[in-house]
Amino acid sequence: MKQVHYSSIREYHDFFGLPAPEHPLISVSSIESDASCVNEEFEMTTDFYAISLKHIIEGEIHYGRTQYDFKGGSLICMSPRQTVRIAKLNIKSDAKTILIHEDFLRGTSIQHAIEAAHYFTYAVNEALHLSPKEESLIKGLLDTLEQEYTQNHDAFSKGIMVSQLTTLLSYAERFYQRQFQQRMESPVSSLEERFITCLKELSSDHIPTVEEVASKLHVTPRYLSDGLKVETGKTALENIHMYQIERAKNMLLGSNDSVATIAYALGFEYPQYFARLFKKKVGQTPTQYRNQAH
């Protein structure tokens, strides 16, 4: 399969048949024809951030082993050096993409915010699905940013665009929280329920890592942790610890096994670590908890 890497925004524009960028480190591009087609299959990486509002008619976008669900309008956020596989895309004319090179952000107020934004490291199949009102709002922000981008650049241009990007990222964060909340309230199994089911399957002989559970659920570790934080108030790692502590309580009160034996049975390599974790979460050592219950 063809593999391409774009170190400059100009290279990206050339490949997709877009007009030359107005600025070497940032661009805002729109699809103006009825549809934009990519008739080949390839893997792509870049040295810049990409924020895309797309309506994909047909084709596939893959990140890792998972396929992006492109029903409806979606906001896709990609970070530098993410590998994405594209297969014969057909995109509606209202698509819009912002490309932001890392060098454009250096020394700005938004640099750390965009680096810390978890949704830039979500898999593409975890795109933000927008309601019609949300899509209209995002499109308005992108249009405003495009207007500034296409004007003659002066001493104020970068500051204005950074401010507009900051607003865009804030709305993306808000809408992702809404998406997590809606999935939690959906009649379909919540992320927490699927997480617990997965833990039960993986916990027979070892303590699962966040990465293991995320892989099993076909999401990225960050997406899993953020979603669980919304649903439970705890991160994925904290939920794993609490699950192990509940199992430990049952074993402490349901058997006469030593604390060390229980620690090994739960998958802890060192009983001392298990004892410290148990006391941190419960407020008592395993022995104190057992003696008090008895």
Higher pLDDT, 208 or 84: 208
19: phi then psi, degrees, rounded to nearest 5: -60, 155
Band of residue 44 on the pLDDT scale cut at 50, 70, 90: confident
Q: What is the pLDDT of residue 60?
A: 60
Higher pLDDT, 35 or 201: 201
Q: What average pLDDT does this structure show over 51-59?
A: 67
CB 79 within 8 A of CB 119: no
Is 66 a residue whose pLDDT tops 60?
A: no
Q: Is the pTM of this model over 0.85?
A: no
Is 132 a residue whose pLDDT tops 90?
A: no
CA 289 to chain centre: 39
Q: Which residue has the tokens 């893997």?
A: 43
Measure the CA–CA gap between 119 and 173, rounded to whole angstroms.
8
Classify the C-alpha dihedral 204-205-210-212 as positive or negative: negative
CA distances from 16 to 9, 12, 82, 147 (A): 11, 6, 18, 21
Is 187 a residue whose pLDDT tops 60?
A: no
The count of other CB atoms within 10 Å of the CB of residue 57 is 13
What architecture does CATH give domain 2-185? Sandwich (2.60)
Q: What is the pLDDT of residue 254?
A: 84
Measure the CA–CA gap between 127 and 52, rounded to whole angstroms.
10
CA distances from 231 to 116, 118, 225, 239 (A): 21, 17, 10, 11
Q: How buried is residue 117: exposed, middle or buried, by Cβ count under 10 Å (0-12/13-18/19+)?
A: buried
Q: What average pLDDT does this structure show over 124-134?
A: 74
Q: Which of 125, 56, 60, 67 is nearest to 87 (CA)?
A: 60
CB 27 within 8 A of CB 149: yes
Per cent of the chain over pLDDT 70 is 82
Domain ranges in the chain? 2-185, 191-293
Mention every residue, 6+ apart, whose C-beta is less than 8 A from residue 28.
Answer: 96, 97, 98, 142, 145, 146, 149, 150
CATH class of this structure's domain 191-293: mainly alpha
Of 35-49, 132-146, 177-191, 251-265, give the lowest mean pLDDT range.
177-191
Q: CA angle, corner 8, sides to 167 and 125, nearest 5? A: 55
pLDDT tens digits, one per residue of 68-112:
555 556 788 888 887 777 766 655 556 788 999 989 988 888 888
Is 260 a residue whose pLDDT tops 90?
A: yes
Q: What is the pLDDT of residue 11?
A: 92
Q: What average pLDDT does this structure show over 205-214?
A: 89
Is 58 a residue whose pLDDT tops 60?
A: no
Q: Of 127-141, 193-207, 272-286, which one has max mean pLDDT?
A: 272-286
